[in-house]
Structure 1
């Protein structure tokens, strides 16, 4: 089935619903309808997104044979039940990250997939220069992984008056900053390096226990992680939603034995490649990139691409997979489960004050 024949429905009506709807339109799919927490909110979302049908409930959405794919963009605690219901109804699913608030729920979601396609939007994988960084480790150009340094910094929760449902454990889960954005960072670490995080030691901080509408907050505003990988590489990660001036600064630098690569999501048009004998800045120019990076260049060099372009590419690859293709690097529910397991280990390590093993690795 071609993307132009797929019927798409969205559950949820916030910012991410808007991003998903744009990506679905870019892939030439048909936006059929939207459901939200109430019929009134569904109607508001349908009007805002330019979608004809506002479903009175999730059940009504799932009963509609015109819907082939369900995009779940609701608060984290709702993902598991909504996704499992959609899969049981025979729908393909795109579920926002974090996939679930517990490992057990994420495992149930993976177990419910059957023959459906189920993906999770780790969309930073779809920046061409991320694919270029990955290609350099995959073909041996960068050598073996020695060390990793990364951060994901935002400032949208900087003040005590800043508030959001994500600070509430009942809606967002036991982790906030790491589950929300640190999951992207770890996914990129493993995706680019081809290595996996084996164990972590962490510390976390809640700057504001009380915000405008929430009190007794326990979810973290910031978390620092020391890690070791399966191959024996070491690294550090810093994740914060209280970093003044940083809007969405995801930065990753991986040192290989032959060269380092560094990617900055706020400046995604270049990849820094560091060498002992001289460094270079590679532009997003399809003629200079590995094939997997070049295929994601949707406009000529010198015309900037960004976050929505990456999201569009992710959704297009999801729909291609539904049509029978096997796009390389498509993040599926197994990757979402992996991120939930790493998040659990990060929070467990902070709370226990000890290293937490995720999987067996070498000790150097």
Structure 2
């Protein structure tokens, strides 16, 4: 069975912008994919040297010096407000990019990154990694071949509790660093991408409400949202409900997508990624990840035998390996590209516009 664990030759030499949780996650995946860990840059020289030592990079650099390095791929894991400049600088230096979501804090900046990549003949991807759970690919395949019938409704949520209290703070809370949206841009974008990926449809219109529960955090006023609820219309005629919150006690990473078709329902829950519930009017079943019975696109992502759980890092590893393969000119199915990052920015702007105007809005097309 072919899998994604195929090292690209020659291996890419990479640079990492950022030294936090996501930079560590990217680095583990890059190392497994055979990348040469070239240079890392963070907010200053001292922290960059520390990151290089801890993460295993050959060297560290900050500012313009970073982009003078010869790098095949630059991973952008810095605060959201820096993504535009970092991506453009990386592309101008001749590097492909893997940019953390949101790709940019507004759609015009996201479009500028996409346009620059196309002008330079370079590639870029965005880590919507929940696409890389095998059971997500199985759900997508069942809808694509017509097993589920027409998509009637979507019921989805993404709930966390890490910002539950007013004392909880993070750079993402500050719109100057994180952008005008927080909860939706941070985790709601994952949810919408997964809905559209599984159903093979677009959200064409929505009505949203947002709430900022804690008006102050860390002694400063908060202008980004804590929770979002929205009703959506799908391009195929279905409707759906979506709930996003970073203030749901006990929920750590509760991402759930349930699609009801005219023939069957499909439910994927990220905290139980080995399973896919298939509901029918007469007899339902729980599919468990087993590469011997999954569609080829799902089986390809099974890195360990059935009964040996796969999780988030495995999905991330597969995404990074596929990104490198695409940059090397190979074909891979379902890779989230820069256009998908732009799509997320357009949906985010529609959410904020609808909440402000308290009305239905259409989502701008790419």
1:278 paired with 2:318, answer: no
Q: How much has 1:359 moved relative to structure 2?
A: 5.1
Counterpart of 1:78? Answer: 82
TM-score, with length taken from structure 2: 0.96
What SS does the aligned partner of 2:217 have?
coil
CA contact (8 A) 2:8 2:34 kept: no
Q: Pick from 312, 326, 349: which aligns with 1:307?
A: 312
3-state SS of 1:45 partner: helix
Q: Please, which runs of 5 or more residues in structure 2 have no aligned partner?
A: 1-6
Deviations 1:279-324 (A, max 9, x none): 0000110011111000000000000000000000000000111111
Q: CA RMSD in A?
A: 1.1
1:105 corresponds to 2:132: no
The gaps in structure 1 that reach 5 residues or longer are none
Q: Is the 8 A contact 1:3 1:320 kept in 2?
A: no
- Quick check: 1:153–1:246 contact (8 Å CA) kept in 2? yes
C-alpha deviation, 1:127, in angstroms: 0.3
**1:1-364 matched pairs, under 5 angstroms:** 2-3=8-9, 5-55=11-61, 57-65=62-70, 67-114=71-118, 115-213=121-219, 215-358=220-363
What is the CA–CA distance in structure 2 between the aligned matches of 1:230 and 1:318, rounded to whole Å?
Answer: 28
Residues 83-132 of structure 1: per-residue CA shift (max 9 Å, x gap) = 01100111010000000001110010010103111000000000000000
Contact 1:203–1:349 under 8 Å retained in 2: yes
Relative to the length of structure 1, the TM-score reads 0.96
Structure 1 4/18 Cα, relative in aligned 2: closer, same or farther at 3 Å? farther
Instruction: Report the Cα distance in structure 2 between the residues aligned to 1:64 and 1:100, rounded to whole angstroms.
Output: 24
Q: How far is 1:212 from its partner?
A: 2.1
State the alpha-carbon separation in 2 of the partners of residues 3 and 126 from structure 1: 23
Contact kept, 8 Å, 2:8 with 2:33, in 1: the verdict is no
